[in-house]
Structure 1
Amino acid sequence: MTLEFHSSLRNLPNPQFVMRVTVAALALGATGPALGLSPLDTFYPPNLNQTSYISNSSIGTYGGIYKAPTNGPTGGIPYGTYDYCSMPHPRTQEYELPEPIAKGSVKGKLIYLEYLQRHQRRSPYNILPGGENQAYQCDNVRPYLYAGPSDNNIMQPMPMYAQTYQDPSNPFTPGVNGTCQYPQITIGGVQDGFQHGKDLWGVYGEKLGIIPKEPNNRVWFRSSSSALTQDSAGAVLRGVWPAYKGALPLHQMVSSVDTVNEGYSCSAISSTLNQLELTDEWNEHLTVTENLRSQLGSMLGATSSSWQTTFDHFSDNFQARLCNGYMLPCSVSNSSECVTMAMADEVFRAGDWEWNYYWRTNPYVTKYIQVVEGLFIGEIVTRLQAVQNGESSIDYSHFFIHDGDIGPILGALGINALRETDAKSDQLYARVLYSGQPVQTIHGILDWLPLSSLIDILKPYVPEDITSLCG
Structure 2
Amino acid sequence: MPHVRKTEYKVPSNDHQLKYVEVIQRHHKRTPYASNTFFKEDIPWDCTDSGPYAGAKDTNGLQTTGIYWQGLENTLNPFEDTVGPGFINSTCQFPGITSQGIEDAWVHGKDFYGVYGDLLQFLPLSEEKEKYTFRVSNGVITSQTLSGFAKGLFPSIKEYPAYVQASNIDSLAPSFSCNLRSAIGSQITDISSTWGVHLNESLALRERFNNVSGIEENDTAGWATSWDHPYDNLSAKQCHGKPLPCSVNNTAICLSQDDANAIYRLGNYEYAYRWRMAENSTLYSALTMGPWFLELQGHMKGIMDGSNIVKYYHNFAHDGSVAPVLGLLQIDQPVWPGMGSEVVFELWQKSSSSSYYVRVMFDGQPLKTSTPLGVLDMISWEQFEGYLKDTIPADLVGICNSVKSSSS
Confirm or deny a common fold (TM above 0.5): yes
What SS class does the counterpart of residue 446 from structure 1 fall into?
Answer: coil
- Partner Cα distance (1:260, 1:341) in 2: 34
- Partner Cα distance (2:300, 2:272) in 1: 26
Aligned equivalent of 2:358, options 430, 452, 455: 430
User: What amino acid sits opposite 1:134 in the alignment?
Assistant: I
User: Is 1:143 aligned with 2:56?
Assistant: no
User: What amino acid sits opposite 1:410 in the alignment?
Assistant: L
| Alpha carbons 1:130, 1:331 under 8 Å: kept | no
Aligned equivalent of 1:419, options 335, 338, 347: 335
Aligned equivalent of 1:187, options 74, 91, 99: 99
Tell me how far 1:234 sits from its aligned partner. 1.0
| Alpha carbons 1:307, 1:314 under 8 Å: kept | yes
What SS class does the counterpart of residue 308 from structure 1 fall into?
Answer: coil
- Partner Cα distance (1:413, 1:384) in 2: 17
Number of aligned residues: 376
Matches within 5 A, 1:230-309: 230-245=143-158, 247-278=159-190, 280-302=193-215, 303=217, 304-305=219-220, 306-309=222-225
| Alpha carbons 1:205, 1:213 under 8 Å: kept | no
- Partner Cα distance (1:321, 1:460) in 2: 42
- Partner Cα distance (1:218, 1:188) in 2: 30
- Structure 1 runs of 4+ aligned residues shifted over 6 Å read none
In structure 2, the residue matched to 1:459 is: 389
In structure 1, the residue matched to 2:109 is: 197
Tell me how far 1:458 sits from its aligned partner. 2.5
In structure 2, the residue matched to 1:338 is: 254
In structure 2, the residue matched to 1:220 is: 133
Matches within 5 A, 1:46-445: 87-98=1-12, 101=13, 107-125=15-33, 126-152=35-61, 155-171=62-78, 172=80, 173-177=84-88, 178-216=90-128, 217-245=130-158, 247-278=159-190, 280-302=193-215, 303=217, 304-305=219-220, 306-420=222-336, 421=343, 425-442=353-370, 443-445=373-375
Tell me how far 1:371 sits from its aligned partner. 2.5
User: Is 1:470 aligned with 2:378?
Assistant: no
User: What amino acid sits opposite 1:325 in the alignment?
Assistant: G
In structure 1, the residue matched to 2:347 is: none
User: What amino acid sits opposite 2:223 in the alignment?
Assistant: W
User: What amino acid sits opposite 2:87 in the alignment?
Assistant: V
User: What amino acid sits opposite 1:460 in the alignment?
Assistant: D
What SS class does the counterpart of residue 432 from structure 1 fall into?
Answer: strand
Structure 1: runs of 5+ lacking an equivalent: 1-86
Aligned equivalent of 2:376, options 436, 440, 446: 446
User: What amino acid sits opposite 2:21 in the alignment?
Assistant: L
Q: CA RMSD in A?
A: 1.9
| Alpha carbons 2:70, 2:93 under 8 Å: kept | no
Structure 2: runs of 5+ lacking an equivalent: 337-342, 344-349, 402-408
User: What amino acid sits opposite 2:65 in the alignment?
Assistant: M
- Per-residue CA deviations over 1:93-148 (Å, capped at 9, x if unaligned) read 221113xx1xxxx5122121111111110000143344211121111424211112
- Partner Cα distance (2:194, 2:20) in 1: 41
| Alpha carbons 1:311, 1:347 under 8 Å: kept | yes
- Partner Cα distance (1:150, 1:210) in 2: 32
User: What amino acid sits opposite 2:375 in the alignment?
Assistant: I
TM-score (norm 2): 0.87
- Partner Cα distance (2:248, 2:391) in 1: 45
What SS class does the counterpart of residue 164 from structure 1 fall into?
Answer: coil
With 183-192 and 119-128 compared, the bigger mean Cα shift is at: 119-128
Matches within 5 A, 1:29-40: none
- Partner Cα distance (2:59, 2:163) in 1: 15
- Per-residue CA deviations over 1:248-288 (Å, capped at 9, x if unaligned) read 11000111221122322333333211111236422331232
- Partner Cα distance (1:425, 1:124) in 2: 50
In structure 1, the residue matched to 2:405 is: none
- Partner Cα distance (1:127, 1:333) in 2: 19
Residue 220 to residue 291, structure 1, CA distance change in 2 (3 Å): same
Tell me how far 1:363 sits from its aligned partner. 0.7
- Partner Cα distance (1:452, 1:299) in 2: 54
| Alpha carbons 1:330, 1:338 under 8 Å: kept | yes
Residue 460 to residue 89, structure 1, CA distance change in 2 (3 Å): same
| Alpha carbons 1:128, 1:301 under 8 Å: kept | no
User: What amino acid sits opposite 2:380 in the alignment?
Assistant: P
